[in-house]
A and B are shown apart, each in its own frame.
Chain A
Amino acid sequence: MSDFNGEKMKKGLDPLEVNGNSRLLTHLNSCVHCGLCAESCVYYQVYGDERFVPAKKVDIVASIYRRYHTFSGKYFPWLTGARELNEATIEEMVDLLYGSCTMCDRCTVHCSIGVDIGYLVRTGRTMLANMGYVPATLQSTVNAAMTTGNNMSIPTQELVDTVQWLEEDLRFEVNDDNACIPLDQNDKDILYTLNPREPKFFPLSISAMAKVFYAAGESWSLSTRMYDVTNYAYFSGNNEEAREIARRLHDEMEIRGAKRCVLAECGHGSRSFRWEGPNYMGKEYPFETLTSVELLAEYIRIGKIKTDPEKNTERVTLHDPCNLVRSGGIVDEQRYILKHTVKDFVEMTPHGTDNLCCGGGGGQLSMSEYNERRMKIGGLKAEQIRKTGAKIVVTPCHNCVDQLIQINAAYKLGVQIKTLAEVVADALILENNKQ
C-alpha cells in the first residue's frame, strides 16, 4: 500500500464521477443508514459483525463520494462521515468490498429505500482496480483469461483432446456414430460456451449438454479459440479488462456467424456477457444471447426434447445462482425443467430471488485469502440443503457447483452436486432406442 500516490488517487476517484450517470448519482445519495439490510447479508448472518452490514459497504464508497463531490463533505466532512481516499480507507475497502461480499445482490432486493448496493460494491471494486488494489489471487484469474483466452489457462490442444474423448463417449452412449461435438464450425444456429472448469474438472457436464443438443437435433458448435463464458474482471471491477473479455466472445460470435450465443451454466458469466457486456462495449449485440437454462426450458416446452422424470427418482433440491435469479430474472425456467426431469423436487427455504448465496460468488472462489470466511458462510447453505433431505443438489452454475462440492465435504452433507444439463441428460428419452 506504500505506493499510494496522487495519481492513483485520481484514478481511484474517477469511477465516482456522476456526470451523465443518473444511476450512480442516485444510489450514492440514497442510503439513510437504517441498517435494516443487515440480515440480508450472509456474512452478517454468520458473523454478526457490524462491519459486514451491507450499508457499511455502501457507506465506504458513498462517504468518499461525499468527501469530494458534496458541499457538506467538502467543508464539514465530520458531519456526514465523509472520508478521504487514503491508505487506511483503501485497506478497509479491500476487506469489505472484496473480502466480505459475494456481490449476490440480496441486500439490494431487500433494501428499504431501493439502493442498488451490489452496483455500489462493484463501483468500489472499480475504484480499487483502477488503483491496482485487486487481490493478487483474483487478478491472476483475470490475467489468465486475458493472456490465454480462458481463466484456467487450458491449452487449445488439451480442450480438443478432452472434447474428442467426450465425443467418443457420446457416440457410444447414444449408439450413433454420427453423434458429435462440433468444434469451430461456422454458420451454426448456436455457439455454445463453456466454463473452463468444465473441460478441466467437470467434463461430464459438457457431455450432458452435447447429449441434449444431439437429442434436440441442434445445429451448434463450440469454439476452441474463445469459449470461456466467465469474466472475472466483472468481479475484479476492472472495466477495461471486462470489456476486452466480453469483446472476444462477441467477436467470436460474429466470426462464426452463429445466430444464438448460448451461455453455459455460469451465473456471473451469464450476467457479465448478456447484461453487462453490451454496456462494457457500449453497443448492442447483433445476435441473440441466452442462457442454457432458458434453452433447456425452451426445448422441453416446444417438445424438441422429451424427458422422463422417472429416470431421476432421488430427492432433488435446487440452488439458485444469485446472478441468474436476482440479476437475470431466470427463476422459473429451472423449476420448469426440474418439474419435467425429476420425480421428487423440494425447494430450499428461502429460494428464488430470496435465495441465500452459497458463498462462491463475487470471485470468492479465486481469493484464497478469504477461504475461511467463504467456507463459514457456506454453512448457511449447508443447513438449507440438510433441511430439504435431498440427495441431489442441482445448480445451473459451475462456480456454485465448486463451492457446493466444498460445502458438501466440509459439512458432511453426503449429497451429489449436479448441473441442470446433467439432470436433463439423465432424464432424456432418446428416439430409436439410441440410449
Chain B
Amino acid sequence: MHWYLWLTLFSLAVCLISCLYHFILLLRAGKPIDFSAPAGTTGNAIRYSFSGAMSPKKKESAYLHLPTYTAGIFYHIGTFLSIFLFFLFLFSFYPTGIIKWLLGGVLAVSSFSGLAILIKRILGKQLRSLSNPDDFISNLLVTGFQVLTLLSLFLDNVRPLYYIGVSLLLLYLPLGKLKHTVYFFAARYQLGYFYGWRGVWPPRKINNQSE
C-alpha cells in the first residue's frame, strides 16, 4: 500500500476518534433538563427542527440570502458526495462513463460554490470582520477536497495529492469550526427540544379549536 494511503488511514482514525470524543462529550453532558411544566411535545419539535424549521421559507438566513443559501446547499452536497467517493476510492472503486461525468459536474458546481463563499468572506466587510484564520482554512480544505475529488475522477496521477489533501482535512476537522459536522445535529436537536418544551415548535393554532 502506498505511503499516502497509510497517511490517509491514520488521519481518518484520528478524525473519527476526535469526532467520537466530541460525541461522547455531548452524551456525557446528558439530555437537556427542564424543570418547567412543558407546553408541547419535544419529539414533534425535534422533527420539525430538522425539517420544516430548516425550510428556506422559514429562515431569514435563507430567503434573504438565496444565492448564498443555494451555494451553501450545493457546497454541502459536494462535501457529502466527496466523502462518499472517498470511501469508494479507498476500496479502489472509480466510477466510469456517464456516472463519472455526472459526478464531475456536481463536484464542479459545488467546488465553485465553495470558492464563491470563500470570495464572499474575503471581500465582504461584515463577513471578514467575523472571520478568523479557521474560517478561511476550513473553506480552503473543504473546497480543495472537492476539487481534488473531481480531479481524481479523471486523472490517475493526482491521487497522491488527493490523499494528502484528504489527510490534511481529516486532521484539521476536529480542531476548528468543521467540527460542526458533529455539533450541527446536536444544535438542531437542542433547539427543537427547547422550542418543543415551550410549545413554540411546531407552530400551532388555537383559533380552530374555538370556533
Contact = CB atoms under 8 A, between A and B. Distances in A.
Interface of A: 18-23, 25-27, 29-40, 50-51, 53, 55-56, 59, 71-72, 76, 78-81, 108-116, 274-279, 281-285, 288-289, 297, 300-301, 325-329, 331-333, 335-336, 339, 353-354
B155 interface: no
Given A35-B126, A332-B206, A79 B134 contact: yes
Given A35-B126, A116-B190, A329 B40 contact: yes
Interface stretch (B3-11, B81-89, B94-102, B180-188): B180-188
A269 to B, nearest CB: 14
A30 B184 contact: yes
Contact of A23 (B72, B124, B130, B190): B190
Contacts of B37: 278, 284-285, 288-289
Contact of A22 (B133, B190, B198, B203): B190
Contact of B130 (A33, A282, A289): A33
A55 B40 CA distance: 29
Contacts of A32: 135, 177, 180
Interface in B94-151: 124-127, 129-135, 137
Interface in B22-47: 22, 25-26, 28-37, 39-40
Contact of B180 (A30, A76, A81, A284): A30
Contacts of A71: 175
Contacts of A279: 33-36
Contacts, number: 186
Contacts of B194: 23, 116
Contacts of B184: 30, 113-114
A19 B207 contact: no
A79 B180 contact: no
Contacts of A31: 177
A328 B59 contact: no
Contacts of A115: 187
A138 B55 CA distance: 38
Given A39-B60, A40-B61, A22 B206 contact: no
Nearest to B208: A332
A301 B208 CA distance: 11
A326 B199 CA distance: 10
